[in-house]
Amino acid sequence: MTAPRLSAVDVARRVARDIPDGSYVNLGIGLPTLVADVVGPDKEIVYHSENGVLGMGPAPAPGEEDPELINAGKQPVTLLPGGAFCHHTDAFVMMRGGHIDVSVLGAFQVAENGDLANWATDEAALPPAVGGAMDLAVGARQVLVVTTHTTRDGRPKLLPRCTYPLTAAAVVDRVYTDLAVLDVSPGGFVVREVAPGVTPEALQAVTGARLTFAPDLTVVRPD
Amino acid sequence: MIDKRVATLADAVAGVADGSTVLVGGFGNSGVPVELVHALLEQGAGDLTVVTNNAGSGESDVAALIRERRVRKIICSYPRSAGSVWFEKFWRAGEIELELVPQGTLSERMRAAGAGLGGFFTPTGADSLLAEGKEVRVLDGRRQVFERPLPADVALVKADRADRWGNLVYRTAARNFGPTMATAAALTVVQVREFVELGALDPEAVVTPGIFVDRVVQVAP
């Protein structure tokens, strides 16, 4: 693979384009949080945090942090006008009860049937930790995954079947990587868009699952 | 006359028995009833089952309870965080039991306990390792796992203000598990920043009605 990969911000921009105005959105920790920084000002998006914040705003200015007003990643945030606090059970009612329109999650692996593995690897040295990953994966109306196309050492993350422990089965709708945008369909991954300079053959070579290419395949426009 | 206020942190945690299940509020460092947990450490109860979202960090609160070998088992969603060194040390040595629960299921199991339910089915975790040994049924076309309530002997909660009836309001995201935990324990103990006169809290804005609260202690910020 010699074509340059999309930057994390470019991938975030591409995800942001798919989030409709007026959506209630939960962004996972890591790559997904970048999406909030690049959503255009023409859209009003309500961000949800699992610890009871609805209408979450950006990080406060230095010196303005409130140690108790944090996001799921435990970083200081702000509350926008119109925002509200709720208790944990209600915050998870929003997630588990199908009230969140879009959940953007990171992943270790995604399978061609939409299975998601994003909470545990096969590493036994660290205690297991799950947080709200499983609740978000089963409860949101739409589950979008943002991930690098391969691991740091070049192994594919898009597979026929996940080898890591599952977070949830058959939940992923769309995957955005640094090489492509792919839909999960009943027939497996359908590539909708590829990064500039990436050929179908090159993409297939770094993907574990068999790919189908959409007849109207286009090049990713990050803006 | 009802007066749930107690004078000292020692009074607040008096009588907590060895072997108790203790709910501890907080998410990361937000809303953790640090002073109550330290009072429990001082009080001396051991062989505890602690239910909390994280497993403490550094040398404070739940981490201190673990360090002093008071915790037999921890039930939580995310024990691994920056500085959770005492939990990790004991877990590696096999000296603390861990029951890992998806965060929403953790919260809902406590809600079920508080609401007098026998349990509930949820799709969360149904296809994961965390459903092992539990009943799974297909309901409404989805695989769902049966989860049992999680009642406790004691809940330790941090709120912002209280009156003598134990009505509570919270502050920003420090509310987190507090209102649910307050319903799920036989003894709910709350630390607040400020006491106010009965009638001074806006009844439209009370988050935890006093019926769920047994003791309240003031901790100066």
In this structure, chain A runs to a length of 223
**Helices (H) then strands (E): counts for chain A:** 5, 13
* pLDDT band, very low/low/confident/very high, at A41 (cuts 50, 70, 90): confident
Report the residue of A134, A141, A163, A164 to disrupt the B interface, i.e. the one with the largest count of B CBs within 10 Å.
A134
**B31-79 confidence digits (pLDDT tens):** 999 999 999 999 999 999 999 999 988 999 999 999 999 999 999 999 9
Q: Say whether A66 and B172 touch across the interface (CB within 8 A).
A: yes
Q: Say whether A128 and B125 touch across the interface (CB within 8 A).
A: no
In a domain, residue B109? The reply is yes
Closest CA to B61 of B70, A49, A74: B70
Residues 99-138 of B with CB under 8 A from A: 100-105, 107-108, 110-111, 122-130
* pLDDT band, very low/low/confident/very high, at A2 (cuts 50, 70, 90): low
In a domain, residue B136? The reply is no
* Residue B25, number of CB atoms within 10 A of its CB: 31
Report the residue of A56, A87, A162 to disrupt the B interface, i.e. the one with the largest count of B CBs within 10 Å.
A87
| Exposed e or buried b per residue across B139-161, where buried means at least 16 C-beta atoms within 10 angstroms of its C-beta | eeeebbbebebbbbbbbbbbbbb
A207: domain range?
8-219
| C-alpha gyration radius of chain B | 18
pLDDT over 70 at A20, yes or no:
yes
- CATH of residue A12: 3.40.1080.10
Contact A209, A188 (CB under 8 A): yes
ipTM of predicted complex = 0.95
In a domain, residue B133? The reply is no
pLDDT, residue A57, reads: 94
pLDDT over 60 at A1, yes or no:
no
Contact A36, A27 (CB under 8 A): yes
- What is the three-class DSSP state of B28? coil
- What is the count of structural domains for chain A? 1
In a domain, residue A18? The reply is yes
**Which is it for strands B71-76 and B48-51: parallel, antiparallel or unpaired?**
parallel
Is B86 part of the contact surface with chain A (CB cutoff 8 Å)?
A: no
B173 closest CB neighbour out of A51, A89, A167: A51
List Cβ neighbours of B16 (8 Å cut-off, separation of 6 or more): B22, B40, B43, B45, B153, B154, B187
User: Phi/psi of residue A83, each to 5°?
Assistant: -70, 165
Structure-token pair, residue A160: 């026929």
pLDDT, residue B83, reads: 83
With a pLDDT cut of 70, the percent of chain A lying above it is 98
Chain A positions touching B71 (Cβ under 8 A) are none
DSSP letters of B133-161? TS-EEEETTEEEEEE----EEEEEEE-SE
pLDDT, residue A3, reads: 66
- The catalytic position among A44, A50, A64, A123 is A50
Arithmetic mean of pLDDT over chain A: 95
pLDDT, residue B99, reads: 97
List Cβ neighbours of B141 (8 Å cut-off, separation of 6 or more): none
Arithmetic mean of pLDDT over chain B: 97
pLDDT over 70 at A117, yes or no:
yes
In a domain, residue A2? The reply is no
pLDDT over 90 at B108, yes or no:
yes
* pLDDT band, very low/low/confident/very high, at B221 (cuts 50, 70, 90): confident
- CATH of residue B108: 3.40.1080.10
In a domain, residue A157? The reply is yes
Contact B215, B4 (CB under 8 A): yes
**B171-207 confidence digits (pLDDT tens):** 999 999 999 999 999 999 999 999 999 999 999 999 9
**A79-97 confidence digits (pLDDT tens):** 999 999 999 999 999 999 9
In a domain, residue B36? The reply is yes
B104 closest CB neighbour out of A67, A70, A135: A135
In a domain, residue A1? The reply is no
Any idea which residue has 């920056």 for tokens? B82
Q: Say whether A129 and B100 touch across the interface (CB within 8 A).
A: yes
B176: domain range?
9-117+150-218
**A164-221 confidence digits (pLDDT tens):** 999 999 999 999 999 999 999 999 999 999 999 999 999 999 999 999 999 999 999 8
Residue type, A190: V
Is A217 part of the contact surface with chain B (CB cutoff 8 Å)?
A: no
Known catalytic membership, residue A50:
yes
pLDDT over 80 at B161, yes or no:
yes
In a domain, residue B94? The reply is yes
In a domain, residue A49? The reply is yes
In a domain, residue B132? The reply is no
Beta strand segments in chain B, E: 21-24, 48-51, 71-76, 97-100, 120-122, 136-139, 142-147, 152-158, 161-162, 168-169, 185-192, 194-195, 215-218
Closest CA to A69 of B170, B161, B219, B157: B170
pLDDT, residue A122, reads: 74
In a domain, residue B159? The reply is yes
Closest CA to A57 of A83, A95, A20: A83
In a domain, residue B76? The reply is yes
